[in-house]
Structure 1
Amino acid sequence: MRPIVTFPDQRLRTATERVTAFDGTLHALATDLLDTMRAAPGIGITGPHIGVMQQIVVLDLPNSPEPETYINPEIVWRSDETIRHEEGSISMPGISEQIERSAKVHVRYQDLSGTEQMVEADGLRAICLQHEIDQLNGIFWLQRLSALRRTRLIARFEKLKRSGLSS
């Protein structure tokens, strides 16, 4: 397990670098991300969540047979149809809000061996991929909200931190 970077750390708003080395270090990072995410707990995590500024996403979704790792993911198509879903971040525990995103996406990525893959995602997988790819691009999920909603959530998070209810 690695320490989780917490909001408002600037690394959560910084674009990441592409992964170029597909080696044991990358495999160890993916394992560390999975262990850290499960302990948080969460269902998605990226390199920036633990201060590693590389394009890696690990998802562990309910009803999924096993965790999924996406290296250098990019959305190559998104549907016009949208859905709303409650989102939050392990970097901002205790805070969540409804976010509107595309209902379906196609994502090109590399697996842990560097082989290019393509996935068509909908539902929770599509939401999580958009959320985590935003994170890799330096867009923290709060930036998808109106200024008023964002300000209210930040104030609520600060209150939680002061009261010790959020780590």
Structure 2
Amino acid sequence: MDNRKEILDELSGLSPRLRDLKAKGDGLTTPEGYFEGLSDQVWSRLKDSPKKETVVRPMRRLWRLPYKSGIAAALVLAAAALIWLNRPRESAAFDLGALTPQEAEQYILNNIEDFDLSMLVASRPEEIADPAGAGRTDTLDSELDQLLDEYLEDVDDATLEQILF
């Protein structure tokens, strides 16, 4: 018993409220006659309170606008897709017929570093003909030969065999 008294003294020192909880009980007691008059009190409050009318809206009306707007959006998207898919496409290919031989030669000379050796070997300079007969293919042939010779000097044997075979 001595131990219990020490615990209660320590508890009252820490928190007097915790010590007094046991004396109060569980707190779930109701006053005398509480439930006998409860139904009368509830009915009197319901009778005195103003009545609110419930507004009933038909669901058909509420759904009409979202359906219409959804259908309209779908039609707009379908029309936009048809217009976008049926638009005239610009050709990505360049019209080589409009290119003069001088322009082609100048492009090749300016961008010779961009060409692969296999492309240069596979191309035939005799296919590049000057329709005016100005003899420009001879200068192009000599320049291409010179560039090929320079390139071949820089290429090792393994790369050359890989290109040729």
The bucket for the TM-score relative to the shorter chain is under 0.3
Question: TM-score normalised to the size of structure 2?
Answer: 0.21
Higher strand share: 1
Higher-Rg structure is 2
Question: TM-score normalised to the size of structure 1?
Answer: 0.21
Question: Comparing both chains, which one has the higher relative contact order based on Cα–Cα distances under 8 Å and sequence gaps of 6 or more?
Answer: 1
Higher helix share: 2
